[in-house]
Amino acid sequence: MLAPTTITNALTIDVEDYFQVSAFAPYISRLEWNTRECRVEHNVNRILAMLDKHSTKATFFTLGWIAERYPQLVRLIVAEGHELASHGYGHERASDQTQESFFTDIDLAKILLEDLSGVEIKGYRAPSFSIGKKNLWAFDCLQKAGYRYSSSIYPIRHDHYGMPDSPRFAYEVRDGLLEIPVTTVRLFNRNLPSSGGGYFRLLPYAVSRWMLGQVNANDKESAIFYFHPWEIDEDQPRVAGINAKTRFRHYVNIDRMEGRLEQLLRDFKWGRMDQVFLGESNAKAVRV
């Protein structure tokens, strides 16, 4: 049953494998990536089947590293009518890179994804929402590389990312380039996370549903929801030696995630980022 609004929201998937998450960087060297069991192809295929079941299209922010190794997966995403977008090449936080290395990463990812898929790559999402006040030059790089939108700022307070004073909804950051922040709900004079990830697994589903509904009903805006393929994978290899905080954040309620996603697809109307935000409905996006 749909929530009491017909606004189309944007469903997004950050295509990376379990061993590539930023929180595991202190425990898993990049040199080990090629030796780890890859599970992303199986998990993305499960997601594609789920979306087909619910007649839903989505945006897949895909790592160049993944696309290079699974070109058939990239082509399948496009063939099934979903948007292919960029998550950079090597899952390095934008905040950890120089301007030159960041441009190289996002330019390589765009070229690679376009060559493999045959479609224009319009969107980019920084790993760990790592564009903030200290590296706003990243938007110059994205504009130069030819991207049309970014979804890289999370306007909340968080120990690893966040820009709580930034606009909550889509705005033009450079000529021809939109920033489409990840969705928050405004409550008690604070922006609260309401767009997926670990928060969606941690909080009761009813809370997440209520928050998304508030954005649609009160703000009259499209929401953005995101998750990762590894979040539906109960059988992924457990990473040894991680601290308790990292373990909790990564594994909490993974066994419930797929069922919650099924409910989410029933309760709201979903579409691709490019169709929701780059069409005529984009009139609300203003430069600030």
* Closest alpha carbon to 208 in 153, 129, 263, 272: 263
Q: Give the contacts of 185 (CB within 8 A, at least 6 positions apart).
A: 191, 192, 194, 211, 214, 215
Instruction: State both tokens at 197.
Output: 């990830």
pLDDT of residue 187: 86
pLDDT of residue 3: 52
Higher-scoring residue by pLDDT: 143, 3: 143
Q: What's the predicted TM-score (pTM) here?
A: 0.93
For residue 149, being part of any structural domain is answered with yes
Angle value at C-alpha 183, between 102 and 58, nearest 5 degrees: 75
For residue 24, being part of any structural domain is answered with yes
255: amino acid identity, one letter = D
- Structural domain span for residue 188: 8-287
For residue 117, being part of any structural domain is answered with yes
Instruction: State both tokens at 61.
Output: 């922010």
pLDDT of residue 193: 85
* Closest alpha carbon to 128 in 264, 16, 287, 276: 16
pLDDT per residue as tens digits for the range 61-90 = 999 999 999 999 999 999 999 999 999 999
For residue 261, being part of any structural domain is answered with yes
pLDDT per residue as tens digits for the range 3-24 = 555 899 999 999 999 999 999 9
Separation between Cα atoms, residue 56 and residue 20, nearest integer Å:
27
Split into its structural domains, the chain has a count of: 1
For residue 196, being part of any structural domain is answered with yes
pLDDT per residue as tens digits for the range 82-122 = 999 999 999 999 999 999 999 999 999 999 999 999 999 99
For residue 3, being part of any structural domain is answered with no
For residue 2, being part of any structural domain is answered with no
Q: What is the mean pLDDT of the chain?
A: 92
Q: What is the CATH number of the domain that holds 258?
A: 3.20.20.370
For residue 194, pLDDT over 90 is answered with no
For residue 256, pLDDT over 90 is answered with yes
pLDDT of residue 226: 97
For residue 81, being part of any structural domain is answered with yes
265: amino acid identity, one letter = L
Separation between Cα atoms, residue 282 and residue 149, nearest integer Å:
12
Banded pLDDT at 185 (limits 50, 70, 90): very high
